[in-house]
């Protein structure tokens, strides 16, 4: 005679409930231990008995798992980590956040520089380049072309900065 199938429903008898809890708890902890061993995973489980008594299992230890969980939760709330380094992932996230912040600062500086150049272009050469292009001299056309190429290069630089910034923001969101 083999095992008989048990319906999945709440056990009503308190003695039976306690026995079932004890057996299932041991089975759960055994499965968690196997998972940790086979996959080299860090596992932590807390269960409360019907009498409100807590039981915990952790591999390597429940305290280290709980501390790591709390630290990871705090780190994901902001881009900047505090305290000592918490492993390779935390170092990578910190590095990405620093790079992202520097790119954002560079983009803001470039935007200010672009606005400054735009104002300068509008005020400095406006009278010369206001006339139809056919009326410009060869020297003025060459100067106009050089300014347009310079402006195009600045715009292309801004585009590259924005693409890099958005890529880093995307990576940091994936890591969090």
Q: Does a structural domain hold residue 158?
A: yes
For the whole model, what pTM was predicted? 0.40
**Domain endpoint, select from 47, 77, 107:** 77
Q: Are residues 73 and 51 in the same domain?
A: yes
**Looking only at Cα atoms, what is the longest distance across the chain?**
105
Q: Are residues 58 and 106 in the same domain?
A: no
Q: Is the bond preceding 60 in cis, omega lying within 30 degrees of 0? A: yes
Mean pLDDT of 48-73: 83
Q: Does a structural domain hold residue 9?
A: no
Q: Does a structural domain hold residue 8?
A: no
Q: Does a structural domain hold residue 160?
A: yes
Q: Of the candidates 44, 53, 60, which has an alpha carbon nearest to the alpha carbon of residue 21?
A: 53
Where in the sequence is the domain holding 108, given as residue range(s)?
Answer: 88-175
**Domain endpoint, select from 27, 58, 77:** 77
pLDDT digits 0-9 by tens, 106-156: 888 888 888 887 777 666 655 666 677 787 788 888 888 888 898 888 888
């Amino acid at each position: 005679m083999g095992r008989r199938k048990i319906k999945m429903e709440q056990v009503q008898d308190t003695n039976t409930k306690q026995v079932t809890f004890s057996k299932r708890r041991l089975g759960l902890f055994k499965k968690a231990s196997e998972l940790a061993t086979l996959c080299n995973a860090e596992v932590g489980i807390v269960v409360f008995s019907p009498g409100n008594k807590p039981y915990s299992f952790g591999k390597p230890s429940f305290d280290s798992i709980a501390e790591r969980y709390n630290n990871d939760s705090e780190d994901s709330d902001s881009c900047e980590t505090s305290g000592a380094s918490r492993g390779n992932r935390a170092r990578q996230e910190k590095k990405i956040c620093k790079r992202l912040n520097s790119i954002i600062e560079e983009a803001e500086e470039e935007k200010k520089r672009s606005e400054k150049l735009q104002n300068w272009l509008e005020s400095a050469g406006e009278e010369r380049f206001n006339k139809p292009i056919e009326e410009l001299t060869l020297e003025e056309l060459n100067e106009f072309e050089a300014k347009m190429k310079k402006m195009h290069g600045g715009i292309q630089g801004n585009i590259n900065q924005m693409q890099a910034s958005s890529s880093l923001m995307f990576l940091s969101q994936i890591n969090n």
